[in-house]
Structure 1
Amino acid sequence: MIKEKDVITLLVPYPTKESALASNSHMYICEIANEGDAALIKCETFKIKFLAHPPVRSFVKEYPSIERNPFVNPTLIDCDKDFHVTGVYIPEKLLAKRRRNICDPLFSKVVEMLDDNGHESEELNPRELMVLNAAL
């Protein structure tokens, strides 16, 4: 079973099952991980265009470091919203391969940014999530 701070790779039906998040897998940090209930924070590879037009208001930019995270590229952690899913068991086979989780200081920083900026919570449709991700 996944745990808080774990990093998983998923396709997410947001805002619809035809969107970019549904067609390209992204990494997600598990903010909350209980059996059948999870809150996920999106991570994506940082791109130069983000300097001129950041895709989100509030974010943490993290560089690859096996001591801190499983990322292989500079990564933007989206602190504007998290995704909630209920009634879905997320197996460990979806964990990041280099390292299963992020370090405590990074997790604390991300949670603090979420709390400070009044983030949105988006409820995911569990059926659509399971259709997109055969491992669920």
Structure 2
Amino acid sequence: MKIDSKRLYPYPVLWFVNDDYINAESSFKCKCDFVKTRDEMSLNLCFELDNEDIKQLIEQKKAAYAIHVECALTMFRQNFTSDNPIYKIAIPSGSINHKIEVIPMIVATEILHNFRNKFLNEDYHDVSLS
């Protein structure tokens, strides 16, 4: 899974590549430290989210921090989610070989009817987002 910066999505994406969220204070980052042992690869994750509306959705369990991990050589592909911005995941060493791709994101855990966010670009102001 690769996120293409030229791809258009049918919903707003909080990402440095686009202007779906217009306020500089609305941002999302993920720090990831890798620790590899003989038995497993551990990822220590720290998500940084500066958007109170989305944080509130996570607190209400309507959204979650997520990480997509993929290894093309072994065809390992798995999503991990948490409502805690700091968490650790462990992947058995036999599941990965050489290179992995890690994609951090925030995902809805249920259908969000009439989603609103004060930092959305005005292009989304009259659009009902679900």
More helix by share: 1
Q: What TM-score do the two structures reach when normalised by structure 1?
A: 0.26
More strand by share: 2
Q: What TM-score do the two structures reach when normalised by structure 2?
A: 0.27
User: Rg: which structure is higher?
Assistant: 2
Where relative contact order (Cα < 8 A, 6+ residues apart) is larger, the structure is 1
